[in-house]
A and B are shown apart, each in its own frame.
Chain A
């Protein structure tokens, strides 16, 4: 069974601060996806990373996939209240199209 450890579980910061969320596993994933979920809504895809060592940027968000494709990070620069939400990482493994989800990081950005 593949497991994905996500940390921190809760994060409360002030507007303008930077933060990093981590997802780690002992398993290799063929790809890893990051989602953001706001209260009352379904998860919305932010990015998919596929290649080991890959870095993708989405405005103030930077996503990195580890060289060995076992871990990933999400870094947010100058966080804003609109970034508040539940951030979920999810790994896809080999020929198995199913996703393994981390436990999520509940981010609160205070104005």
Chain B
């Protein structure tokens, strides 16, 4: 399985600011995804990060709030924009090759005050 790292591992931010989370994989992968996990909850897919094109967002998530980049097959970023306390969550990236199992990064724990 791929080795996935995320930066930062945790952060405390003020409302109204933005935070960019990085996801790095040690090998090229076809698919990269971003999830949100609110405290005590399961995972909710935010979007699929597409290399060289705009991300594909799930219902309830929009590009202005969660802009995503994927410049190559090993790296992606998720920005949480204009944060509010409701954005306090764990943000997880995952990777997969087509139709194969998804593997998850360690997550970024975000607290918005």
Tell me the A residues contacting B by CB distance below 8 Å. 30-31, 33, 35, 40-45, 48, 88, 90, 92, 97-99, 101-104, 106
* Contact (A99, B45) CB under 8 Å given A41-B106, A48-B101: yes
B104 within 8 A of partner (CB): yes
Q: In the complex, A44 Cα to B103 Cα: how many Å?
A: 7
Instruction: Determine the residue in chain B with the shortest Cβ distance to A99.
Output: B102
Residues from chain A with a CB closer than 8 A to the CB of B73 are: none
Q: In the complex, A44 Cα to B107 Cα: how many Å?
A: 12
Tell me the B residues contacting A by CB distance below 8 Å. 1, 4, 31, 33, 40-45, 48, 92, 96, 98-99, 101-107, 109
* CB<8 Å pairs between A and B, sample of 28: A30-B99, A35-B104, A41-B106, A41-B107, A42-B4, A42-B104, A42-B106, A42-B107, A43-B43, A43-B104, A44-B104, A45-B101, A45-B103, A45-B104, A88-B42, A88-B43, A90-B43, A90-B102, A92-B99, A97-B99, A98-B33, A98-B45, A99-B45, A101-B42, A101-B43, A102-B42, A104-B42, A106-B40
Residues from chain B with a CB closer than 8 A to the CB of A42 are: 4, 92, 104-107
Chain A interface, DSSP helix/strand/loop, else mixed:
strand
Q: In the complex, A102 Cα to B44 Cα: how many Å?
A: 10
Q: 7 nearest interchain CB pairs?
A: A42-B104, A104-B42, A42-B107, A42-B106, A43-B104, A103-B42, A101-B42
